[in-house]
């Protein structure tokens, strides 16, 4: 494959590292007193060292890298899809479904990739669930399962009827329902990213560095929800393996994905799937062709290395956030996003990023194209993968 990756490195280039640190030092002085008395929902913020097994300075080798994909991307539904998050495709109808930041589930009739431009895509306001729909996945009877950040786990019937399935487990309410997927037997696997912070202040969960996330299973036959794993570091996307024996889930803060077995002799056990990702994972999707596609909300950088290494830095950043004094450093940290393609065994095969991409939430391969969403965009990006690979091979 083209563009073989260099060996693992202890740091990835970022132009904002020094600027971030200087800014933080200035913020420390001006906010030292006021931050202590800030009356904010996150007043109990308490940054912690990340776990000892987190090797944050390294990055997994990737076979093939494409570092400037914006130039090769086309906009599908431009201006009509505010903050498209997760993606779910119905091959029978040709509709691509996504949750938007105005509470609507929109569906996009994809244009013929061989004969129509992306501007030919038809965008339809399908169902308004309210709040902020994040993860989406199809279940039995063509119902769409939706992880709505504030309400909980929802089911949307084919006729548009919305039903709440779960909003708590073990007496602990969901504060940030996030990723979702459905197994062949109809069981719904989903995540609650944090039981301390909701979506409006979710960056504080990332900065605090404590394990408030959970992996859960909803059983439609009994209408019950079980906690499978707790103590996760911002539990995010979920994808069932094609053999239905396991699932892969993302932990954003630790830049890793792990495998949890849902059937067989290993049922209930967890093992490593992919560590030291080149960015912070969001959603994960299986493409039906032997690959997982992992959205990377932001790229790994020297700035992030510093932020994650020192709890005191994160404390000062949280103080600045609570007082709405970001001074431009937060957008710099959120750049370098993209999509990573991985094998079923957890090998990083191909990376598609861009220095200017921010808050990429997920990717899905449909035919010859990779489609991806971004919280910072108003369209779904589309890349012709075979042409991108051919162009890279010719350099």
pLDDT for the residue numbered 34: 43
CA quadruple 352, 103, 107, 193: dihedral sign: positive
pLDDT (tens digit, 9 = 90+) per residue, 224-278? 999 999 999 999 999 999 999 999 999 999 999 999 999 999 999 999 999 999 9
Give residue 43's pLDDT. Answer: 52
Contact between residue 350 and residue 49 where contact means Cβ atoms under 8 Å apart:
no
Give the C-alpha separation, 329 to 21, whole Å.
9
pLDDT in tens, 33-60: 344 334 444 458 999 999 988 878 789 9
Contact 384, 372 (CB under 8 A): no
pLDDT of residue 285: 98
Written as six digits, the tokens of 335 are 């750049």
- Which portions of the chain are predicted below pLDDT 50? 1-16, 18, 20-22, 24-42, 394
Domains identified in the chain and CATH numbers = 17-393 (2.120.10.30)
What pLDDT score was predicted for residue 40? 45
Per DSSP, what are the bridge partners of residue 235? 251
């Amino acid at each position: 494959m083209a563009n073989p990756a260099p060996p693992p490195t202890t740091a990835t280039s970022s132009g904002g590292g020094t600027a971030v640190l200087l800014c933080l030092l200035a913020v420390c002085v001006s906010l030292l007193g006021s931050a202590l008395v800030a009356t904010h929902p996150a007043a109990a913020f308490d940054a912690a060292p990340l776990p000892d097994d987190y090797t944050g300075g390294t990055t997994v080798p990737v076979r093939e890298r494409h570092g400037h994909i914006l130039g090769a991307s086309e906009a599908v539904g431009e201006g009509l899809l505010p903050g498209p998050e997760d993606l779910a495709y119905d091959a029978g109808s040709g509709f691509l479904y996504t949750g938007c930041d105005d509470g609507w589930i929109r569906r996009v009739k994809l244009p013929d990739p061989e004969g129509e431009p992306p501007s030919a895509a038809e965008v339809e306001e399908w169902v308004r669930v309210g709040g902020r729909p994040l993860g989406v996945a199809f279940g039995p009877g063509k119902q769409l399962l939706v992880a709505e950040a504030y309400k909980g786990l929802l089911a949307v019937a084919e006729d548009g009827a919305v039903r709440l399935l779960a909003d708590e487990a073990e007496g602990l309410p969901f504060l940030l329902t996030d990723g979702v997927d459905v197994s062949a037997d109809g069981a719904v696997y989903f995540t609650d990213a944090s039981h301390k912070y909701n979506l409006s202040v979710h960056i504080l969960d990332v900065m605090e560095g404590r394990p408030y996330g959970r992996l859960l299973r909803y059983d439609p036959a009994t209408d019950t929800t079980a906690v499978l794993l707790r103590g996760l570091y911002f539990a995010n996307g979920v994808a069932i393996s094609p053999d239905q024996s396991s699932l892969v889930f993302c932990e954003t803060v630790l830049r890793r994905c792990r495998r949890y077995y849902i059937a067989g002799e290993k049922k209930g056990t967890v093992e490593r799937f992919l560590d030291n990702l080149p960015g912070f994972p969001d959603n994960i999707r299986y493409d039906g062709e032997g690959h997982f596609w992992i959205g990377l909300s932001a790229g790994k950088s020297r700035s992030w290395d510093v932020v994650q290494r020192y709890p005191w830095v994160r404390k000062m950043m949280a103080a600045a956030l609570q007082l709405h004094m970001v001074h431009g450093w937060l957008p710099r940290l959120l750049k370098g996003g993209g999509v990573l393609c991985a094998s079923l065994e957890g090998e990083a095969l191909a990376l598609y990023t861009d220095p200017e991409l921010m808050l990429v939430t997920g990717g899905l391969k449909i035919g010859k194209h990779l489609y991806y969403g971004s919280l910072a965009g108003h369209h779904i990006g589309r890349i012709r993968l075979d042409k991108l690979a051919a162009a890279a091979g010719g350099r």
